Structure 1
Amino acid sequence: MTNSLSAPPETAKAASGGGDPAPKKKSRFDFLPYLLVTPVTVFIIALALVPAAFTIIQAFYRVDALDPPTRFDGFGNFTRMFKNDAVVSSIGNTGLYVVIGVVLSTVLGIAMAVLLQRPFRGRSVVIAVLILPWALPGVVEGILWTNIFDPNAGLIASVMHTFGADEGAVLLGHNRLLTILLIELVQVWQITPLSALLILASLQLIPDELYEAAVIDGASPWRSFWHLTLPMARPGIAVSMVQGVIATLNVFDQPFVLNGAATTGASVTMQTYYISFQNLDFGQGYALSLLITITTLVISLGVVRTVYRRVEL
Structure 2
Amino acid sequence: MTGPQLGTPPVTAPAGGDATGTPARRRRRRRFDPLPYLLVSPLAIFIVGLALVPAAFTIVEAFFRVDSLDPPTRFTGLGNFRRLFGDHTFRITAENTLVYVVIGVGLSTILGIAMAITLQHRFRGRAALIAVLILPWALPGVVEGIVWTGIWDANTGLLNSVLTSLHMVDHYHVFLGRNRWQTIALIEIVQVWQITPLSALLVLASLQNIPGDLYEAARLDGCSAWGAFRRITLPLARPGIAVAMVQAVIATLNVFDQPYVLNGAAPTGSSVMVQTYSVSFQNLDFGEGYALSLLVTLVTLIVSFCVVKLVYRAVEL
1:173 partnered with 2:156? no
The aligned amino acid for 1:18 is T
Q: If the length of structure 2 is used for normalisation, what is the TM-score?
A: 0.92
Q: Give the one of 85, 96, 105 matched to 2:108.
A: 105
User: C-alpha displacement at 1:166, in angstroms?
Assistant: 3.1
Alpha-carbon shift at residue 153 of structure 1 (Å): 2.5
Partners of 2:28 and 2:60 lie apart in 1 by: 50
Alpha-carbon distance in 1 for matches of 2:52, 2:167: 55
Q: How does 1:61-210 map to 2 (within 5 A)?
A: 61-161=64-164, 162-210=166-214
Match of 2:268 in 1: 264
| C-alpha separation in 1, matches of 2:167 and 2:300 | 43
Larger Rg belongs to: 1
Contact kept in structure 2, 1:251 and 1:267, CA below 8 Å: yes
Q: What aligned pairs does 1:37-76 form with structure 2 within 5 A after superposition?
A: 37-76=40-79
1:287 is aligned, of 274, 287, 291, to 291
Question: Residue deviations 1:241-292, cap 9 Å, x none?
Answer: 0000000000001000100121000000001001001111000000000000
Q: d(CA) in 2 for partners of 1:59 and 1:281?
A: 11
| TM-score using structure 1 length | 0.93
Distance in 2, Cα, partners of 1:285 & 1:257: 20
Q: Could you tell me which residue of structure 2 aligns to residue 12 of structure 1? A: none
Pick aligned residue for 2:12 from 8, 15, 18: 18
Q: Is the 8 A contact 1:152 1:167 kept in 2?
A: no
Q: Does the CA-based 8 Å contact 1:62-1:284 persist in structure 2?
A: yes
**How well do the aligned residues superpose, as a CA RMSD in angstroms?**
1.4
In the alignment of these two chains, the number of paired residues is: 299
Q: For residue 304 of structure 1, report the CA deviation from its aligned partner.
A: 0.3
Q: 1:159 Cα deviation (Å)?
A: 2.4
1:155-209 per-residue CA deviation (whole Å, 9 max, x = no partner) reads 2112221133132111110111110000010010001000000000000000000
User: Structure 1 residues 168-177 or 154-163, which shifts more?
Assistant: 154-163
Paired with 1:240 and 1:257, the residues of 2 have a C-alpha distance of 25
Residue identity opposite 1:83 in structure 2: G
Letter in 1 for 2:199: S
Q: How much does 1:26 deviate?
A: 3.1
Query: Which runs of no fewer than 5 residues in structure 2 stay unpaired?
Result: 1-8, 19-23
Moved more, 177-186 or 18-27: 18-27
Question: C-alpha distance in 1, partners of 2:258/2:88?
Answer: 22
